[in-house]
Each structure stands twice: as C-alpha cells, then as structure tokens.
Amino acid sequence: MLVLTDFDCCSAAGHHPKTKYQSGQNQETSNTAIKYFFGEKMSDVLASKSANDKQFVWDNVNGKMTAQNNGMYMVCYQIAENGYQPRSFEDDFMALNKQYMLDNDFTESAIDAGFKDGFDSEDKAYEAAEKVNSKAAFAFEILLNSKKDGDDPFGGWSIPAYIKEGLLWLRK
C-alpha cells in the first residue's frame, strides 16, 4: 500500500502555525499519518529519511507499524529537490515547474490571479502555493494545461520526486 501525503511542516511553538521549511529551526510536521508511521514529528529528522526508511510492515507482536526495508507499506511525502524542501504538493509542483506555472493560466477557483507576482523574479513557490483556493481545482487545471508530448497527453511539466519515488516502489 502506498501513502502519498504532505510534509506539512509547522512551527513547534504556540498553536503550530504552518510555515515554509527551514533546516535547523526546530520545526515539526502537523501530518498525523507521518507521525503515526514514523513515530516522529521533527521536520529535520523526517527530511533526512531515505526511500528505504519510508517502508513499513505491520508488527503483530507490538500492534503497530514498524520500519522495514522492502516493507508492504510505503509513506511518501515531499523531498528536497534543487535545494528546496517543499511543504505541500502545490509548492513542490510550483518549485519544480516554475516556467510551466508562468506560461499557463489558471482560474480563480484554482488559485488567486496574483500568484505570479514576484514568482518570476525569485523562487517563491511556498508563497504562491498559499494562494491556491482549491487543491482539487489546481490539480485538475494542471492536467487541463498539459501539452501533448509524443505519446504523453499530459506533458509539459515534471512530476515531483516523492510521487515518482512512490510509483517506482509500487512498480517493484
């Protein structure tokens, strides 16, 4: 079984407001599935996990999931690419597909029109992702804006590494 989920880092202080990941800042994940599987909430520890560290089996003796290479379960969340650790699918996709985001139009139901402001001058994937109005509409419009690339009807953009990691594990 494959679980694809968000990294969901947040401040460890107060009511744990969500925030952009920054290494060494004592951040946590707010993601219940990640905390359940890994028994860990510290973002720096979770950001360092390899694909092998993300595989689990059910331990009947202890009544819980246990990490095990070649396990029957895999939990994948955003991983750093090009020096950037995303928090969600949206900022992962935007950081990885910056030109695609700039070249295409999205409806207001998916994302605020102003998301491109400043996005082209520096990497502001996290800030742009905060302007997503509907995660479902955003994902659907990515497909609608796709360009045919050879036999691939959904070309023109790259798949985030954590999704690729999970799909390759499923294929084994």
pTM of the model: 0.92
Q: How many CA atoms lie within 13 A of 8 on its CB side?
A: 13
Percent of the chain predicted with pLDDT > 70: 99
**Model confidence pLDDT, tens digit, residues 107-151:** 999 999 889 988 876 779 999 999 999 999 999 999 999 998 888
Measured between alpha carbons, how far is 162 from 52 in angstroms, rounded to an integer? 13
Angle, vertex CA 95, rays to CA 94 and CA 100, nearest 5:
50
Give the CA dihedral 12, 13, 19, 21, nearest 10 degrees: -40
Q: Which helix (H) or strand (E) holds 65?
A: strand 64-67
Measured between alpha carbons, how far is 103 from 10 in angstroms, rounded to an integer? 31
Rg (CA), the chain: 17
Identity of the amino acid at 37 = F
**Model confidence pLDDT, tens digit, residues 1-25:** 999 999 999 998 888 899 999 999 9
The stretches of the chain forming alpha helices (DSSP H) are: 32-38, 43-47, 89-96, 98-103, 125-129, 135-144, 161-171
